Amino acid sequence: MNNNDDQNHTLPKDHPRYLSLRYRHKIIEGMKNLIVAEAGLIAHGRGECFDYILGEKTNLAAKKAIKAAVALLLLAKHPIISVNGNVAALCPNELVELSNKLNVPLELNLFYRKEGRIEAIKNMLESAGAKNLLGIDETSMVQIEELSSNRRNVDPKGIKIADVVFVPLEDGDRSEALKKTGKKVIAVDLNPISRTSIWADITIVDNIVRVLPEMITILDDLKNLKEDQLLEILNNFNNKKNIQNVLDLIKDYIDAQKEEAFKILP
Ligand code: PTJ
């Protein structure tokens, strides 16, 4: 009898949706290995939908947000990169490379707790070369009172004392809660009008699989800048305006598709 484990994930490289399918299968494999929560599949699907109407490429607004985000991470005193199951499954190597190059720890902070998940994600990231992993020892966790979800349990050496929290894709209430504790939030979310996107100080509306490599490249450009030059980048960045530009871009993209989409027909 067939079950979910019998699916054949061999992907022909010339498939027109090859990349999209490859990432979809990483999420499915991640779920089988406990890295991704069941709801992570649905979250990924929602992301794919937004990615489609953004043209599946990094837009100018995202590039500006990425530059501001890297500047803020370089200026921060106690920055932290928060990790959930989807990000660990989609791009563990890039996550670790960014963490190591910035010398910023990765903290596991999961919405869905399930036995074995922390261990599975830890193993995945350590195989990718992670040196500085927090959020592993559940007995030493402290709480962020402003948050009601599982994410309230944080590492006393990480999110708890952080001044800047980099939050790749996730559910909605955390940017708001983190901001109420005086922290700055950098979010990556393909949905430009999610609560996460609206509350964040810097919102990168793009796919995490493209964002992390771009951040690594930009980091090489910015790492030798002086503090006042980094501050200038931040001062020139307006998050609300940037998100509004993304919304305009979606409108323009959909308008263009009224003709473009049909060009694949003979
Ligand atoms: O691993 P856990 O337990 O911490 O759970 C992680 C998920 C993602 C399941 C949890 O945070 C969740 O349920 O998130 P939501 O509320 O579904 O929100 C996910 C957001 O990420 C949505 O706004 C999606 O559009 C967006 N998104 C999904 N995939 C990507 C993405 N944004 C950027 N890149 C993606 N690849």
Ligand 1 atom at shortest distance from the alpha carbon of 85: 1
Does the Cβ of 170 fall within 6 Å of ligand 1?
A: yes
pLDDT at residue 8 in the model: 53
* Burial class of residue 4, CB neighbours in 10 A (0-12, 13-18, 19+): exposed
Query: Is the distance from the beta carbon of residue 62 to the nearest atom of ligand 1 less than 6 Å?
Result: no
Report CA(261)–ligand 1 centroid distance (Å).
27
Q: Is 50 in the pocket of ligand 1 (CB under 6 A)?
A: yes
pLDDT one-digit tens code per residue, 204-262: 999 999 999 999 999 999 999 999 999 999 999 999 999 999 999 999 999 999 999 99
- pTM across the whole model: 0.94
pLDDT number for residue 106:
97
Our answer on whether the CB atom of 44 is closer than 6 Å to any ligand 1 atom is yes
Token readout for 9 is: 């994930």
How many Å separate Cα 205 from the centre of its chain?
Answer: 10
Query: Given a cut of 80, is residue 142 above it in pLDDT?
Result: yes
Sheet with 164-167, edge to edge strand ranges: 133-134, 106-108, 79-83, 164-167, 184-188, 202-204
| 3-state SS, residue 112 | coil
Q: Which atom of ligand 1 is nearest to the CA of 49?
A: 25
pLDDT in tens, 11-22: 777 777 888 889
Centroid of ligand 1 to alpha carbon of 91 (angstroms): 14
Cα 190 to ligand 1 centroid, rounded to whole Å: 9
pLDDT at 17: 82
CA of 196 to the centre of ligand 1 (A): 10
Q: How many CB atoms lie within 10 A of CB 188?
A: 29
CA of 90, closest atom in ligand 1: 36
Q: What is d(CA 81, CA 219) in angstroms, rounded to the nearest whole number?
A: 15
Average pLDDT for the chain: 93
Where does residue 239 fall: left (phi above 0), alpha (psi -120 to 50 degrees), or beta otherwise? alpha
Q: What average pLDDT score do residues 128-154 get?
A: 90
Residue 43 Cβ inside 6 Å of ligand 1? The answer reads yes
Ligand 1 centre and the CA of 41: distance in Å?
A: 9
Using CA atoms, how far residue 47 sits from 3, 74, 101, 131, in Å, is 26, 28, 27, 29
Buried b / exposed e over 216-230, threshold 16 CB at 10 Å, is eebbeebeebeeeeb
Ligand 1 centre distance from Cα of residue 80 (Å): 18
With a cut of 80, say whether residue 203 has pLDDT above it. Answer: yes
Read off the pLDDT of residues 147-181 as tens digits, 9 standing for 90 and up: 888 888 999 999 999 999 999 988 778 888 899 89
Per-residue pLDDT tens digits for 23-74: 999 999 999 999 999 999 999 999 999 999 999 999 999 999 999 999 999 9
pLDDT single digits (tens) 83-111? 999 999 999 999 999 999 999 999 999 99
Residue 151 CA: which ligand 1 atom is closest? Answer: 4
Distance 85 CA to ligand 1 centre (A): 9
Tell me: pLDDT of 1 over 50. Answer: no
